[in-house]
Chain A
Amino acid sequence: MRMSVAKQVLLHVVVVLMLAGMAFPVLLLVFNSLKAEADIFASPMGPPHAVTWANFRRVLSETSFAVNLRNSAIVAFSTVILSVVVTAPAGYALSRFKFLGRTFFSMWLLATQAFPGIIMVLGLFTVLTTYGLINRLPGLIIMHTSFSMPFSIWLLKGYFDKISVEIEEAARIDGCTRLQSLVKIVFPLAVPGLLAVATFSLLLSWNEFFFALVLMRDNAHYTLPVYLARFLGSGGVVQWGPLSAAALLITIPVFVLFLLGQKYLVSGLTGGAIK
Chain B
Amino acid sequence: MTHADARVRTKRSWREEKHAIPFLAPALVVLACVSAYPLGMGIWQVVYAYKALARKNVFTGLENFALLFKDPVFFRAFTNSLVWTVVSVAAMFLISYVLATMLNSRYLRFRRFFRAATLIPWAIPGVVVSLTWRYMFLSGGPVNSVLSAIGVAHPPAWLTDPQLALWTCIIANIWMGLPFVTIMLLAGLQSVEGDILEAAAIDGATYLQSQALVVMPSIKKVILIVLTLEAIWTFNSFDIVFVMTKGGPGSASMTLPLYAYQNAFMYYQAGYGAAIGVVILAVLLLAVVFYIREVLQ
User: A residues touching B (Cβ–Cβ < 8 Å)?
Assistant: 1, 3, 8, 11-12, 14-15, 18-19, 22-23, 25-26, 28-29, 32, 41, 44-45, 85-87, 89-90, 92-93, 96-100, 103, 105-124, 126-127, 142-143, 145-146, 149, 153-154, 178, 203, 206-207, 209-210, 214, 224-225, 228-229, 232, 240, 243-244, 247, 250-251, 254-255, 258-259, 262, 266, 269-271, 274
A137 CA to B270 CA, complexed, in Å: 23
Interface contact B128-A3, CB-CB below 8 Å: no
Interface contact B31-A108, CB-CB below 8 Å: yes
The 8 Å CB contact of B117, one of A23, A122, A209, is A23
Interface contact B123-A178, CB-CB below 8 Å: no
Interface contact B142-A28, CB-CB below 8 Å: yes
B contact residues around A106 at 8 Å (CB):
296
B contact residues around A120 at 8 Å (CB):
34-35, 38-39, 42
User: B residues touching A (Cβ–Cβ < 8 Å)?
Assistant: 13, 16-17, 19-24, 26-28, 30-31, 33-45, 95, 98-99, 102-103, 105, 107-109, 114, 116-129, 131-133, 135-136, 138, 140-142, 145-146, 175, 178, 183-184, 186-187, 198, 201, 221-222, 225-226, 229, 232-233, 236, 238-239, 242-243, 257, 260-261, 264-265, 270, 273-274, 276-278, 280-281, 284-285, 287-288, 291-292, 295-296
The 8 Å CB contact of B257, one of A23, A117, A146, is A117
B contact residues around A92 at 8 Å (CB):
23
A contact residues around B287 at 8 Å (CB):
114
Interface contact A118-B38, CB-CB below 8 Å: no
Interface contact B20-A203, CB-CB below 8 Å: no
Interface contact B16-A97, CB-CB below 8 Å: yes
Known: A97-B19, A178-B19, A262-B116. A209 touches B281 (CB 8 A): no
A contact residues around B136 at 8 Å (CB):
25, 28
A contact residues around B17 at 8 Å (CB):
97, 99-100
B contact residues around A119 at 8 Å (CB):
38-39, 42-43, 274, 277-278, 280-281
A67 CA to B145 CA, complexed, in Å: 37
Q: How far is the CB of A203 from chain B (nearest CB, A)?
A: 7
A136 CA to B127 CA, complexed, in Å: 22
A107 CA to B20 CA, complexed, in Å: 17
Interface contact A254-B123, CB-CB below 8 Å: yes
B contact residues around A109 at 8 Å (CB):
31
Interface contact B239-A44, CB-CB below 8 Å: no
The 8 Å CB contact of B102, one of A15, A32, A112, A254, is A15
